[in-house]
A and B are shown apart, each in its own frame.
Chain A
Amino acid sequence: MATIRIPTPLRPYTSGNEQVTVDGQTVNDALHNLIEQHPDLEQHLFNDGKLRSFVNVFLGEEDVRYLNGIDTAIKDDSKLMIIPSIAGGSGADTNRKVDHSALRTNQAFIIGLLLIAFIANLWALVAFVALVMIIGTIWPNAGLFKQVYLRILKPAGILKPDVIVDNPEPHLFAQGLGGLFTLGSTVALLVGLPILGWTLSWIVIVLAALNLFLGFCAGCFVYYQLHRLGVPGFSSGPIVREARQE
């Protein structure tokens, strides 16, 4: 007969047994046979007849979700394991917090790379910065410079987080605007208009530097003006910051 390994928090319902022998042809049969033997397990494994999302059943090394789900066939000598996913969290202020260290890293990269591009006359580097900015605006998770911060600079302790209750949208809008200018710069350089091209790049450099060194986000200012005028899509108003109390 197949066996099911029981995780520690559920063992009080199996008289302390780590392993229970079960009958059945499928994972579903086995789980229901387990519940027949130990009915108190049911509410912790199932919700409205469905396996709870944080309950994982493994057949050997494989999560049965990647096999045939609870209909996965089992044999007499199959070894099943119930393995918890552990999850939780405050859920507080979803998306209403911005790590300004990540923004500043982004700005520093933009300024540095565009300056190098200008000095070395590299249109391709301008194109690269434009691409990173535009991708980072459309998919914030995929922002390359932000990822450098999240995966390298912050874990290594080189930069400390500076999380502020803030709207992420104006910052994304500012980056998108900068991305379009940088894209325009790339196109101008490619079609042989270097003065226009480098002017556009320098506008991005100056505005990013204004933000990095003086904390003034010109794109955010534009965003909030559009919000004030009631332009659709600019729904986030300025946040009045207040201290949190427990």
Chain B
Amino acid sequence: MKVVLSDTHFDQIKTHLEDAYPNEGAGFLLGRSSENLVEIEFILPMANRREAEAQHNRYSIEPKDYANAEFEAARRGLDLVGVFHSHPDHPARPSQFDVDHAWPNFTYFITSVEKGKVKVTHAWRLREDRTAFDEDILEVAQPNSVANTNRED
């Protein structure tokens, strides 16, 4: 699966995750998906609802926040297509905990943030049998090559 987003949206993700450091930050990716392509058109940063002591290596988005995000996506004529979160001072690879708690058909961006600076982002997708993630192809487009970024419907 190929995932495309503009560098403006990518910057919004980076800013949220650097602000969250040394804790994990997270949020939703809104856009459209077809059989082989996910186009991300809006970034929705979310609060990490884990207890303060656990936020350095865990994140959680609660059901009410999820429901609001789905409503927000619908309002914009988009779908929830994925989730992004950071691994502070840790590689951008899924942990077993990430696999165990993942939902299918979402692209999961994992971004490593080292000493407060974003290093690398990889996109992952849960296998149908829930045993592991496979990597999506992540493409960050230059401005104007992804149509109508931040469009308000």
Contact = CB atoms under 8 A, between A and B. Distances in A.
Contacts of B60: 85-87
A44 B130 CA distance: 8
In the complex, which of the residues A56, A63, A88, A147 has the most CB atoms of chain B within 10 Å of its own CB atom?
A88
A94 B101 contact: no
Contact of A244 (B89, B96, B103, B104): B89
B90 A163 contact: no
Interface stretch (B5-13, B63-71, B135-143, B144-152): B63-71
Contacts of A43: 129-130
Contact of A163 (B22, B53, B129): B22
Interface in A73-111: 81, 83-94, 97, 99
A225 to B, nearest CB: 27
A246 interface: yes
Q: Interface centre among A11, A84, A86, by most B CB within 10 Å?
A: A86
A81 B22 contact: no
- Chain B interface size band reads 35 or more
Given A88-B98, A141-B52, A246-B112, A9 B104 contact: yes
Interface string B109-127: 0001010100110000000
A13 to B, nearest CB: 8
A88 B101 contact: yes
Contacts of A39: none
A90 B89 CA distance: 9
A238 interface: no
Most buried by B among A9, A44, A94, A163: A9
A148 to B, nearest CB: 12
A85 B63 contact: yes
A246 B83 CA distance: 22
Contact of B26 (A8, A86, A94, A97): A86
A130 B60 CA distance: 34
B89 A10 contact: no
B5 to A, nearest CB: 18
A7 B66 contact: yes
Contacts of B50: 89
Contacts of B116: 160-161
A93 B26 CA distance: 19
B103 A84 contact: yes
Contacts of A12: 104-105
B59 A84 contact: no
Contact of B95 (A44, A58, A85, A91): A91
B44 to A, nearest CB: 12
A9 to B, nearest CB: 4
A209 interface: no
Contacts of A7: 66, 70, 80, 103
A147 B51 CA distance: 12
Given A10-B105, A88-B98, A89-B54, 12 more contacts: A7-B70, A9-B106, A10-B103, A43-B129, A81-B67, A84-B63, A87-B97, A88-B59, A161-B21, A163-B88, A244-B114, A246-B91
21 contacts: A8-B73, A8-B105, A10-B103, A43-B130, A44-B103, A44-B104, A44-B130, A87-B101, A88-B59, A88-B94, A88-B102, A90-B87, A92-B90, A140-B53, A141-B52, A147-B52, A150-B52, A161-B21, A246-B91, A246-B92, A246-B112
A-B pairs, 6 with minimum CB distance:
A89-B58, A163-B22, A86-B61, A88-B98, A90-B87, A9-B103
Interface of A: 7-12, 43-44, 54, 56, 58, 63, 81, 83-94, 97, 99, 140-141, 147, 150, 160-161, 163, 244, 246
